Structure 1
């Protein structure tokens, strides 16, 4: 075996209460669809041929040093607590410390049944695997903290959902897979020893300057506040902000029914399972606070005087909305050319968003067009933009500098839903060219790429993707 992964598996050295030993289930005929060479180099993974890569990242061949496990966690799903979830179709191969000194997990998603599968088949089909590959790598290129995609492998086996679908496995890389739900499961069980051990581990791995459970809570709050503001700034809707999908590292994790908005509206929902709009675009800041409150509830269970910690935890949680608003102002101020935006600029930003919602303006293209002077073309009634533009230009500093700054804050390219669906449809037929094209273009989202202008186009009426779906 020529492939070498420099594993150093700290999570697997925790007590068995945290996970179940679980090898990936072999697949029939693995075929390597994509391998992220830049990420592999960062992780210190030595080169190998495509056949060997397919064997390793399908789970057929276990690399030396791997200690495959399925992690335990619980969580609130759409507000309802589920006492035991866990990796139902994922196997953590292990961890590496990359060339940048950062520790990261390497996980196979869709690797077969585990003790936490809850009746599922433990597999993934090709569509969601390619969607997560494209969207997570696009998020990385946008500068937003996220899990990343190392490899995608077609399994050569069918997966049964509405019908038979081609199976696939994604290799996901994350700062860790610690979730709010990882803490919740031990708190709910009254397992204070495991909760303390987990807290110490999380602090050591992610926030070494944090002091104790409340220090960890504050650090997670700050990371999540920044993340949510960044999501809002690119029109991203996670779709399933359950506590088991909330990473304490502050990374975006679990790209299920996620989407980027085309036409802007604050109440936009894409997830087919979010029938009440709990995780709509405009609700994401409030849900992040709600999730943090669940983490606070779990963390204080390990303290000798939990009641005495409630006031401190409450203060930490109650500070989060203000932190999100401050980060949101910084993000949107930059988007309209005001790097020094103050709270007095909030009405200006909100007025633009209101006019965009009323006039079917494309979120990404409107902000990108501000630097070029043709944003009014995005509005069904261009005079609606004219009524905002005068006040905006009066507030702008040097317009030349502002235009360059806006191009750095406003992407030209996002993973538009209709293009992702086209890519998946082609891949199911064996054509991976659209997949590779999307990855190449989205790796440079802020660059002007005139030859790729068709990927900036919003969907035509018959191309609109009204709902996105989980891969399970």
Structure 2
């Protein structure tokens, strides 16, 4: 075998991948777009959108799972709002490492497929090397997507979004009597499990705005985020979170707050009578603390048993079960 030829072929393949993952070549059949969405940032509602991300398209995996492939830091979009649409190499490598760590820890998360250095300089606090991250998610639908549809589109568009979301992420809800209310409950259950996972490993999201809350229950947007070094519920990890809104210990309550925002967006589809719709959603949301506490204690129990079994296996003691 000609090793020189193999090395050259490998280098050629890497160059082709770099062209693809840098956005300089659009895959055949793809129609890239920047998504529109709205959301509550630190409690204030604002119109948003992908300011530095381009959705390349959907992809069906070999297992038949549909995923979104997105380039982050690829340049200016219609939603950049004066920004440069770029990302730094340091930040993109950080997202790559943390998202893959979260996946390895068994926590639903976006995945990072590649980081490509652009060769351009990006100005933040100082001049840094630019890069583009290729991000993969079950989808980029978020609470803010529904907020956008509710505030800026008509009810038929909101209904179409609901139908699409159920078909893509919750097909078991296709034939329920109240799809909007059922979706709210399903998203609530996934968010409860997700935040319990965060507490399990000491993860602080840092920016739990409604635009960063995934409808499919995955962690994403690894900007200001960190893992606790020492336990302190008041720990924050965002330079602009001066009030501690998104502190580690506040994450369950913020998840419930964000779900209330989703409920508000879904109200016209829950019931034609707004009072009735509000009562149905309120009754469901009021059950959040009970469900969250049950899931949290179940997580604690698993951790305690897991640690006990590890110590037993190392010969520290024997476990005698009373049944």
Match of 2:22 among 40, 58, 64: 58
State the partner residue of 1:230.
197
| Aligned counterparts, 1:257-276, within 5 A | 257-276=224-243
Deviation, structure 1 residue 217 = 0.5
State the partner residue of 2:109.
146
Deviation, structure 1 residue 398 = 1.9
Match of 1:398 among 302, 313, 319: 319
State the partner residue of 1:322.
290
State the partner residue of 1:350.
none
2:268, 2:277 within 8 Å by CA — same for their partners in 1?
no
1:120 pairs with 2:87 = no
Match of 1:172 among 135, 139, 142: 135
Q: TM-score, normalised by structure 2?
A: 0.89
Distance in 2 (CA, whole Å) between partners of 1:246 and 1:397 is 44
The one-character-per-residue Cα deviations of 1:13-61 (angstroms, maximum 9, x if unpaired) are xxxxxxxxxxxxxxxxxxxxxxxxxxxxxxxxxxx81101100110011
| Aligned counterparts, 1:109-258, within 5 A | 109-189=72-152, 191-210=154-173, 211=176, 212-258=179-225
Deviation, structure 1 residue 67 = 1.0
Secondary structure at the counterpart of residue 73 of structure 1: strand
- Once the two structures are overlaid, the 10-residue window that deviates more, 105-114 or 298-307, is 298-307
Unaligned runs of 5+ in 1: 1-47, 339-367, 374-392, 401-472
Distance in 2 (CA, whole Å) between partners of 1:305 and 1:71 is 31
Give the direction of change, closer, same or farther, for the CA distance of 1:67–1:267 in structure 2 (3 Å limit).
same
Deviation, structure 1 residue 372 = 4.7
Distance in 1 (CA, whole Å) between partners of 2:119 and 2:125 is 18
Secondary structure at the counterpart of residue 294 of structure 1: helix
Distance in 1 (CA, whole Å) between partners of 2:320 and 2:80 is 56
State the partner residue of 1:452.
none
Secondary structure at the counterpart of residue 273 of structure 1: coil
State the partner residue of 1:434.
none
Give the direction of change, closer, same or farther, for the CA distance of 1:257–1:326 in structure 2 (3 Å limit).
same
State the partner residue of 2:303.
335
Distance in 1 (CA, whole Å) between partners of 2:287 and 2:108 is 22
Give the direction of change, closer, same or farther, for the CA distance of 1:197–1:95 in structure 2 (3 Å limit).
same
RMSD of the TM alignment (CA)?
A: 2.0
